[in-house]
Structure 1
Amino acid sequence: MKIAFHDVYVHPLPPEHRFPMVKYELIPQQLLREGIIQPMHLFEPSPLDEDIILLTHEKEYWHKLRDQQLTYREQRVIGFEQSERLTLREITIGQGTIDISLHALDHGIGFNVAGGTHHAFAARGEGFCLLNDIGLAANYLLDRRKVKQVLVVDLDVHQGNGTASLFENNGSVYTFSMHGAHNYPFHKERSDWDIPLPDGITDGPYLQALKDALQILINKVRPDIVYYLSGVDILETDKLGKLKITAAGCLERDILVFDILKKHDIPVAVVMGGGYSPKVKDVVDAHCRTFSAGMDIYGY
């Protein structure tokens, strides 16, 4: 088992942006405290090399990030004030998702304690996302001929608009997003398959829609690897989510994904995505249940 964690934090942030970042510090602590993992399972990635970044992102945009030259408007759209530590954190997350992908190809599953920066486009960031870690990892594996076909299963409550845009014309990466129809981003890109969900959807209809979709996806795409974006902003407690999924339903979602992938011997790289419940404990608990479910089903 290999789990990427990131000892690169970006404090001080404006108060309204601190909460989403706290969970990345707390998740590894809780996983260790509950005995779900051992210290040997954790590793800290190195920052990405520029040549890998440029497989996915445009040079002009990357250099703006690297040299701290984003405009005020660009920073506002992203939601963070630019800083060298923020850029370092982002390129470390990207390398972490590459590393867990390689581990998954050899051992079945890998986790990134962060990741899921699915709102980043080739030439811009938005929605707390600077670089697209799934895009970076998928393009790396394809460029190095590690895989031929990639499937993205994005179950964050927000559509993976950046990921959809990155791979719009790339038949080697199939993008699937099941998300809130009336949630951010309000202009949706076109994934290969989008399932927009109504506000207030509950466990039963949600899980049935996912179960039906997963079998179709596996048969249609036949992926060499799956990127699973396991956002917990689907929870009924989430202040941004608008859905009514219980903690038990969120766990059942994870079990459905892991069960079908393990049944078909498909490696999976798991990234965390969003979670904005007012109580940080609800967010951390839900993410830790994702880790536990994946490890149980893949035999760790």
Structure 2
Amino acid sequence: MSGICTGRVVVVTGAGRGLGRAHALAFAAEGARVVVNDLGVGLDGTPGSDSPADGVVDEIRAVGGHAVAHAGDIATTEGAASLIRVALETYGRLDTLVNNAGFLRDRMLVNLDESDWDAVVRVHLKGHFLPLRHAAAHWRQETRAGRTPEARVVNTSSGAGLLGSVGQGNYSAAKAGILALTLVAAAELGRYGVQVNAIAPAARTRMTQETFAQTMAAPETGFDAMAPENVSPLVVWLGSAASAGVTGRVFETEGGRITLMEGWRPGPTAAGEQRRRPEEAGDAVRHLMKEAQPPGAVYGTR
């Protein structure tokens, strides 16, 4: 390993399993001291009986790394505040925040209960905002004290947030919100030495095990394109000081592929100097659609 994160303190939420676990192990392997957060809930957010964060901490310590567990609910003010406090009280600093925690409650919109909407938006979107808000307050304080950090935030969106996904209206809306939050945070926090980026990963985890169940390692290379460990190198690099100058970006990543996503930009425009009648607005839209690139297909419609 290169030791690209030697000396850095990294917080990873939802790090007990899947992508979060892979990120925590990868950061530790590169010299970081890691705060491993996981509430230990089921796939749908219901309380679980185990403590997966402790297991990941044990894995890191077993190979000589440094890690500490945090089992608080990061979608609450106290849980998020205590997460940042654990990093500062244990290791004396905070350099990188990786927001990853989440779960699913998939339903078609006509069957989606309000409670399922609230729960998914809460863990994904609020669960990104609150740790970010408390970490940012610390970094602002550091900057005002003359210690401007090389701080990094990596948020976790999804292809569902980029394109939408049938049966996942709650999840898609939350993941799209994370993209906008990333752009705002990158613009606001740069003055405090903070870079904020987002990833939209595809990997085999509890949340996607049915989707990718049949994807196995290629026999000729042994490369498992859907292994969560494939996503972690990008996250580690974005979370390191080596990523200086990269902020406000969104990366789609799967296997060995990394795509820099380009978001909403002005496309064809119909100029006008006076109010249109409805049929005139419709004619303009039809003309614009002929000139525009077709949108990407919503997941589940292909």
Structure of larger gyration radius? 2
Asked if these proteins are the same fold (TM beyond 0.5), I'd say no
Higher relative contact order (CA 8 A, sep 6+): 1
TM-score of the pair, normalised by structure 2: 0.28
TM-score of the pair, normalised by structure 1: 0.29
